[in-house]
């Protein structure tokens, strides 16, 4: 009895010590802690809203808040409930924690993915847009009129961006500033070159059509190089994706051949730890392969 009391007292002392250390740390770094909490809550919502504005997608703040709450707490609760139905409480706690953490962290990378996808589409449309601009300028149209022709003829996202330039110019924003805002929204090298050329030629004078033709050639050559790189790295990307799927495929295979042994991975603490380590290392390896095969041009 005394031994049991001593054990309980020792564990209580450790918990009190850890709690005291956490309290003093938070008290000493309260500004940084609260700033981090705000960045991970309201900051994530504001980040999502700012990216939605960049991709011209309107959504209410309340909807974004509900979506973020569902991705973190909602999905983790559903996963824990499903595991609890089958009596897998230990696995349920771990799986709910992983799902909640991923749902908490995934909104920012997902919005970056949407913005990058839109930016890549904009880059491919720039050749057609510059062709139209060059032809319009040669036909005697002013630059805003040529931009209007691009808006009418080409699909989004280039038509949306150029239309925003015209709308800003109509309400009194100088045209040079409108183009600078375009670079801020779509910060690509081709866009920077395009806007810089327009700004210089509007101040010094020159043939815009010839400059547009030169930029078109540069963009075409860059696209060719990107396509070659994508072809060279396609096999490595496939191998990386296949290797990332190997643990799951092997788990499925062994669950079919020896289901009793496979259940130990989901019911025993050691098995759950092994699963966490395996998938963590797999995620790190997949991330490393993506970074290696991603070559900027």
- Residue 33 within a domain: yes
Q: Mark which of 55, 79, 111 sits at the end of a domain.
A: 111
Average pLDDT of the chain?
84
Distance CA 108, CA 42 (A): 12
Confidence of residue 122 (pLDDT cuts 50, 70, 90): very high
Confidence of residue 292 (pLDDT cuts 50, 70, 90): confident
Please give the helix or strand (H or E) that residue 165 lies within, else none: helix 158-170
Instruction: Give per-residue burial for 216-243: e unless 16+ CB within 10 Å, then b.
Output: beebeeebeeeeeeeeebeeeeeebeee
Check which CATH number belongs to the domain holding 164 and give it: 1.20.81
Q: Where are the beta strands (DSSP E) in 58-180?
A: none
Q: Mark which of 168, 190, 219 sits at the end of a domain.
A: 219
Q: Mark which of 194, 219, 244 sits at the end of a domain.
A: 219
- Residue 214 within a domain: yes
What's the pLDDT score for residue 2? Answer: 47
- Residue 15 within a domain: no
Distance CA 68, CA 49 (A): 12
In sequence order, the 6+-apart residues with CB closer than 8 A to the CB of 225 are 297
- Per-residue pLDDT of 78-118, as tens digits, reads 988 988 887 777 778 878 888 888 899 899 999 999 999 99
Question: With 70 as the cut, is the pLDDT of residue 254 above it?
Answer: yes
> What is the residue range of 265's domain?
226-293
Number of domains in the chain: 3
**Residue indicated by tokens 């380590």:** 277
Distance CA 53, CA 64 (A): 13
């Amino acid at each position: 009895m005394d031994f049991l009391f001593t054990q309980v007292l020792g564990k209580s002392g450790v918990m009190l010590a850890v709690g005291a250390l956490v309290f003093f740390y938070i008290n000493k770094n309260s500004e940084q802690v609260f700033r981090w909490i705000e960045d991970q809550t309201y900051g994530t919502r504001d980040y999502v809203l700012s990216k939605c504005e960049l991709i011209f997608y309107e959504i209410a703040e309340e909807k974004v808040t509900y979506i973020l709450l569902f991705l973190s707490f909602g999905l983790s609760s559903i996963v824990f409930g499903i595991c609890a139905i089958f009596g897998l409480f230990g696995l349920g706690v771990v799986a709910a924690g992983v799902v909640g953490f991923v749902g908490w962290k995934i909104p920012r990378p997902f919005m970056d993915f949407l913005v990058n996808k839109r930016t890549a589409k904009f880059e491919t449309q720039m050749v057609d847009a510059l062709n139209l601009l060059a032809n319009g300028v040669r036909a005697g149209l002013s630059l805003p009129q040529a931009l209007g022709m691009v808006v009418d003829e080409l699909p989004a996202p280039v038509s949306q961006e150029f239309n925003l330039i015209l709308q800003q110019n109509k309400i009194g924003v100088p045209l040079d500033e409108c183009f600078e805002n375009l670079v801020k929204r779509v910060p690509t090298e081709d866009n920077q070159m395009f806007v810089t050329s327009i700004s210089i030629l509007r101040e010094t004078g020159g043939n815009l059509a010839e400059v547009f033709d030169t930029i078109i050639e540069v963009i075409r050559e860059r696209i060719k190089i990107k396509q070659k790189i994508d072809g060279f790295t396609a096999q490595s990307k496939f191998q990386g994706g296949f290797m990332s799927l190997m643990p799951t495929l092997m788990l499925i295979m062994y669950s079919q051949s020896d289901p009793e042994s496979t259940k130990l991975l989901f019911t025993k603490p050691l098995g759950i730890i092994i699963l966490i380590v395996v998938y963590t290392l797999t995620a790190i390896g997949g991330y490393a392969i993506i970074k290696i095969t991603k070559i900027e041009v």
